[in-house]
Amino acid sequence: MTTFYEEAKAFATKHILPYSVEVDEKMEFPEKSFEEIAKAGYFKLMIPKEYGGLGKGMAEHSAACMAFAQASATTGLCYMMHNVCLSIILKYGSEQLKNKILKDVIENNKFLGFAYSEFGSGTNFYIPSIDAKFTENEVILNGSKSMVTSATYASYYLLLSPSEAGEGVDNWIVPIEKEGVTFKSSEWNGLGMRGNVSCPMEFKDVKLEKSYRIGEIGAAMTHIFEVVAPYFITGLASVYSGVCQAVLTEALSHATSRKHNTGQSLAEYETVQTHLAKIYSQTNAAVLGTQEAARAVDAGEEDAIVKVISARIFASEAAIEVSRLGMRIGGGKAYNKQGIMERLLRDSYAGQIMAPGVDVLTLWLGRALAGLPLI
């Protein structure tokens, strides 16, 4: 592991882990952790140095998400989305838009979230049905987005709408204070990742200046495949690799400390040793695959997207499998929610359905390997 990862892990142990149980039990956004993330400068991780940021790349993005998720999957996930949103602004935003958003991030510790998904589109979030009407200077938005992570806490939300040109998709960034923007927080009751506050975001005659459009008219699909795909998918691989690491740590702790009335620890039983070996192997593979994917993106290698998709598929499925084995090691105590294994099991299940889901990604991977368009 890199020095950057170790520093991020030490930060997470101090400022994220202490709130992880409360965040899950109360379904509360990790507000205290995010205040510390802001103070430590992690919000500006991806911002180039010439703009006042840290100028880091995919490897550091992945390492931070992995370290944070090991302490709290919710926190790692929400932080990851901020980095991805910011990367889109940096690559495609106008200088006017970049200066506004980056100033707010750097000087005011603001962060960003996604409002891409809709109730009828599922994984096909690039086919938006939200109503967008255009005047000379504005777009007027009506409708809703479904699973908006960091709802009510992020200051800006990236949103896809039908294009002004009639073909393609437009990408917008919406300030939370815009009149007509509301959230339905009461509708969130997630199985896992319970602190991410993923709830519907409503738009009623929301007037947005065209200066808030990101990039060219109708060009959002380019944004999705050139920036969202590598950064978001690698970020999810990192989050679920972090979950795997948390499972391994919890399983080892329980197996070595839990003793039967014979005086033997669980770790002395061959069955438990087998489970631990499988957990380690899956975790190690997830971490190494994710690190390799991040390295390939930074290096600009031709097969980087194949490695990214593969890493995300593997890490998401590995998290479910290792947490299942972790529950076996934890036994009745884990089932009775003593320790964190039960929470890790619940958190792991979000990985297979979070758009683009594992089923879709598996298809994409096969198409990419065959030299075919992803969609």
- Domain containing 64 — which CATH number? 1.10.540.10
- How large is the average pLDDT for residues 360-365? 94
Closest CA to 276 of 319, 325, 321: 325
Beta bridge partners of 115: 159
pLDDT at 354: 86
Residues 288 and 255 in one domain: yes
| Three-class SS state of 213 | strand
d(CA 198, CA 355): 13
pLDDT confidence of residue 119:
85
pLDDT of 367 over the 80 cut? yes
Answer yes or no: do 208 and 241 share one domain: no
Residues with Cβ within 8 Å of 371's Cβ and at least 6 positions away in sequence, in order, are: none
Query: Terminal CA-to-CA distance of the chain, rounded, Å?
Result: 35
Q: Which helix (H) or strand (E) holds 142?
A: strand 138-148
Per-residue pLDDT, 213: 98
Question: pLDDT tens digits, residue range 211-220?
Answer: 999 999 999 9
Structural domain count, the chain: 3
Domain membership of residue 13 (yes or no) is yes
Note the pLDDT of residue 353.
Answer: 84
The CATH number covering residue 318 comes to: 1.20.140.10
Q: Are 92 and 223 in contact (CB under 8 A)?
A: yes
- Is the Cα dihedral 243, 145, 210, 108 positive or negative? negative
Question: In terms of C-beta distances under 8 Å and separation of at least 24 residues, what long-range contacts does 180-188 make, across chains too?
Answer: 180/141, 180/204, 180/205, 180/206, 180/207, 181/206, 183/148, 183/151, 183/152, 185/151, 185/152, 188/27, 188/151
Please indicate, yes or no, if residue 375 is contained in any of the structural domains: no
Residue 331: inside a domain: yes
Average pLDDT of the chain is 95
Lowest-pLDDT range of 24-38, 124-138, 324-338: 124-138
Burial label, 14 (beta-carbon count in 10 A; 0-12, 13-18, 19+): exposed
Report whether pLDDT(375) > 90.
no
- Predicted confidence at residue 1, as pLDDT, reads 74
Q: What was the pLDDT predicted at 123? A: 67
Q: 202, 217, 232 — which closes off a domain?
A: 217
Is 254 in the same domain as 358? yes
Residues linked to residue 161 through DSSP beta bridges, in sequence order: 170
Provide the domain limits for residue 236. Answer: 221-369
pLDDT score for 126: 74
Say whether pLDDT at 300 is over 80: yes
Q: What percent of the chain shows pLDDT beyond 70?
A: 99
Reported as a single tens digit per residue, the pLDDT across 149-192 is 999 999 999 999 999 998 899 999 999 999 999 999 999 999 99
The structure's pTM equals 0.96
CATH code, domain with 157: 2.40.110.10
User: Can you tell me the mean pLDDT for 312-325?
Assistant: 98
Q: What does the pLDDT look like over 232-266, one tens digit per residue?
A: 999 999 999 999 999 999 999 999 999 988 889 99
